[in-house]
Amino acid sequence: MSTTRRGTPDFVLLFLAIALVGFGLVMVFSASYSITFSEDPLLYTKKQAAFAVTGIVVMFIVMNIPYAALKKTFVPLFLLSLLLLVLVLIFGEEVNGARSWFRFGPFGFQPTELAKIGLLAYLATIIPKKGEKFRDFKKGLLPVLIVTGVVCFLIVLQNDLGSMLIVFATAGIVIMVGGARFKHLFGLAGAALVIGGGAILRELLLKDDGQTSYRIRRLTSFLDPWKDAQGDGYHLIQSWYALGHGGLSGAGFGRSVQKLHYLPYAHNDFIFAVIGEELGFIGAAAFLLVYLLFLWRALLVALRCRDLSGALMGSGIVVLLFLQMLVNIGGVTGAIPITGVTLPFISYGGSSLLTSMFGVGILLCISRENNKLEKQKTDGLAADGS
Per residue in 329-385, pLDDT (tens digit) is 999 998 888 877 899 999 998 889 999 999 999 999 999 999 888 887 776 666 666
Stretch among 40-44, 164-168, 274-278, 289-293 having the lowest mean pLDDT = 40-44
pLDDT reported for residue 135: 84
pLDDT reported for residue 213: 57
User: Where are the strands (E) in the chain, listed by range?
Assistant: 93-95, 98-104, 107-109, 207-208, 211-212
**Residue 205: which pLDDT band, with cuts at 50, 70 and 90?**
low
**Residue 201: which pLDDT band, with cuts at 50, 70 and 90?**
low
Average pLDDT over residues 177-200: 72
Closest CA to 362 of 319, 298, 300: 298
**DSSP sequence for 297-309:** HHHHHHHH-SSHH
**Segment (H or E) for 269:** none
pLDDT reported for residue 211: 47
34: helix, coil or strand? coil
Residues 17 and 294: beta-carbon distance below 8 Å:
yes
| 193 or 50: which leads in pLDDT | 50
**DSSP sequence for 91-116:** H-EEETTEEEEEEETTEEE-HHHHHH
Q: What is d(CA 358, CA 356) in angstroms, rounded to the nearest whole number?
A: 5
| pTM for this entry | 0.91
Average pLDDT over residues 204-211: 52
Instruction: Kindly list the distances between the CA atom of residue 309 and the CA atoms of 3, 175, 244, 347, 375, in Å, as whole numbers in the listed order.
Output: 22, 12, 45, 30, 21
**Residue 96: which pLDDT band, with cuts at 50, 70 and 90?**
low
Please state whether 340 falls in left (phi above 0), alpha (psi between -120 and 50) or beta: left
Is the pLDDT at 15 greater than 60? The verdict is yes
Q: What is d(CA 98, CA 104) in angstroms, rounded to the nearest whole number?
A: 17
HEC letters along 127-179: HHHHHHHHHCHHHHHHHHHHHHHHHHHHHHHCCCHHHHHHHHHHHHHHHHHCC
pLDDT reported for residue 197: 62
pLDDT reported for residue 36: 62
